[in-house]
């Protein structure tokens, strides 16, 4: 069996019921869950693929530091080769714990490095952009990405901006309304939409992108096609938004590596409703799927700073699934990658409110505010001006001193 490096991410503070869910997810027995849950104020790390020897030694070190390690029940009996684990440590004991771990065998020195890296994940990040553009700064305030659908059949505004003239006009309106980025797509991804060939996508996009060469905002191209993405980048686009997370076109991964541009990797569900009932969605599962994609990207030569993650509201998910994603968004943010959320006018908002697509402004604003309050870095929206005003309140509430000093 090939040796696998443990996968580590930091967890945010969790309410008791979510903490217990993570404890149970390790495979720990009910008694262990009951004993470990009330450990107090801790720093939490979710660790995947931890070897048996490393797990046993790590548990000893965690207990010595006043914490604990939840592992599969088969670890104590030496019946499993690897385990997922939940590491709980008193915050004040974290530094000495990591120092001691660096001298331990069984891969724990490397694990200490990964744990320290997870702790250091900065709130403010600069994402390099091509074409001499200034870096995209995330983490200072929520950014607004305006949606421009150059399609006849998008679920919200299909056909409104299908002509190049109307699309370019709308792009400039999006900038004037206060957007920070523009996301341009030529293929609808609504349920049941007919796939659009790369040649047709480019026929729709080329005149728009050519007319936006002096556009003041970074431009993202929303496509699953590497050929379309490559042409768009050559025409001045700055980043790729791939709703398939590099899955639908084998050429997309090498393009992302070769170009070095930022890429939005979105999670989607492709299995049937009955399978979904047997496998209820959790943010833990979403992150595991995205982590596998990111590992492929990094192994191929991509860089961590290229990655933006999107939990994929809609895209095969039920209303309940989407509500879980919105509730647990802090887990995704705590992972350390910039997070993009696209819930604007989505069907689950209509299911909650009974509102038609055209009447979902208030619901979309509520979703954007909740996502921003939970740490989302970029909000992909149709209603730019209204969202920008709502997010100004979120930013001011998060940093009231900075807001007051700017007055």
Q: Which residues are annotated as catalytic? A: 346, 380
d(CA 47, CA 66): 18
d(CA 263, CA 220): 9
Backbone angles phi, psi at 273, to 5 degrees: -55, -45
The residues near 201 (Cβ < 8 Å, ≥ 6 apart) are 186, 187, 223, 225, 228
d(CA 28, CA 51): 16
d(CA 174, CA 31): 55
- Residues in a beta bridge with 221: 184, 240
Tell me how far the alpha carbon of residue 118 is from its chain's centroid: 16
Helix axes 52-64 and 108-120, enclosed angle (nearest 10)? 60
Burial per residue of 245-283, b for 16 or more beta-carbon CB atoms within 10 angstroms, e otherwise: bbeebeebbebbbebebbbbbbbbbeeeeeebeeeebbb
Tell me how far the alpha carbon of residue 27 is from its chain's centroid: 26
For strands 378-381 and 143-149, give the pairing. Answer: parallel
- Residues in a beta bridge with 310: 266
Contact 108, 54 (CB under 8 A): yes
Residue 131 has a CB neighbour count (10 Å cut-off) of 12
Q: In the structure encoding, which two tokens stand for residue 318, read together? A: 């039920």
Q: Which helix (H) or strand (E) holds 370?
A: helix 361-373
Q: In the structure encoding, which two tokens stand for residue 261, read together? A: 């541009």
d(CA 230, CA 228): 6
């Amino acid at each position: 069996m090939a040796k696998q490096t443990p996968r580590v991410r930091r967890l945010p503070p969790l309410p008791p019921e979510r903490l217990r869910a993570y404890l149970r997810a390790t495979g720990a027995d009910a008694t262990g869950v009951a004993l470990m849950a009330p450990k107090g104020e801790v720093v939490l790390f979710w660790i995947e693929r931890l070897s048996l020897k490393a797990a046993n030694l790590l548990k000893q070190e965690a207990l010595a530091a006043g914490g604990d390690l939840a592992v599969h029940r088969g670890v104590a009996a030496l019946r499993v080769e690897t385990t997922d684990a939940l590491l709980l440590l008193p915050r004040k004991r974290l530094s000495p714990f990591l120092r001691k771990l660096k001298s331990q065998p069984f891969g724990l020195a490397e694990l200490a490095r990964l744990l320290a890296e997870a702790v250091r994940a900065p709130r403010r990040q600069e994402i390099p952009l091509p074409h001499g553009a200034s870096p995209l700064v995330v983490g200072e305030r929520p950014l607004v990405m305006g949606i421009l659908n150059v399609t006849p059949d998008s679920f919200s505004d299909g056909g409104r901006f299908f002509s190049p003239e109307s699309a370019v006009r709308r792009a400039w309106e999006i900038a004037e309304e206060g957007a920070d980025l523009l996301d341009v797509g030529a293929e609808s991804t609504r349920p049941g939409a007919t796939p659009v060939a790369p040649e047709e996508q480019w026929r729709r996009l080329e005149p728009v992108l050519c007319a936006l060469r002096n556009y003041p905002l970074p431009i993202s191209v929303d496509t699953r096609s590497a050929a379309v993405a490559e042409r768009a980048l050559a025409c001045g686009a700055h980043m790729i938004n791939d709703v398939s997370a590099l899955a639908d076109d084998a050429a997309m991964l090498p393009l992302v590596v070769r170009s070095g541009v930022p890429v939005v990797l979105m999670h989607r569900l492709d299995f049937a409703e009955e399978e979904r009932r047997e496998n209820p969605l959790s943010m833990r599962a979403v992150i595991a799927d995205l982590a596998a994609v990111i590992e492929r990207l990094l192994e191929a030569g991509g860089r961590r700073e290229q990655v933006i993650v999107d939990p994929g509201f809609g895209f095969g998910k039920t209303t309940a699934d989407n509500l879980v994603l919105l509730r647990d968004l802090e887990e995704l943010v705590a992972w350390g990658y910039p997070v993009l959320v696209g819930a604007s006018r989505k069907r689950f908002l209509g299911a909650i409110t009974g509102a038609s697509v055209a009447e979902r402004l208030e619901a979309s604003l509520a979703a954007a505010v909740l996502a921003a309050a939970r740490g989302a870095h970029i909000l992909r929206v149709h209603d730019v001006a209204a969202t920008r005003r709502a997010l100004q309140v979120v930013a001011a509430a998060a940093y009231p001193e900075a807001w007051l000093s700017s007055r």
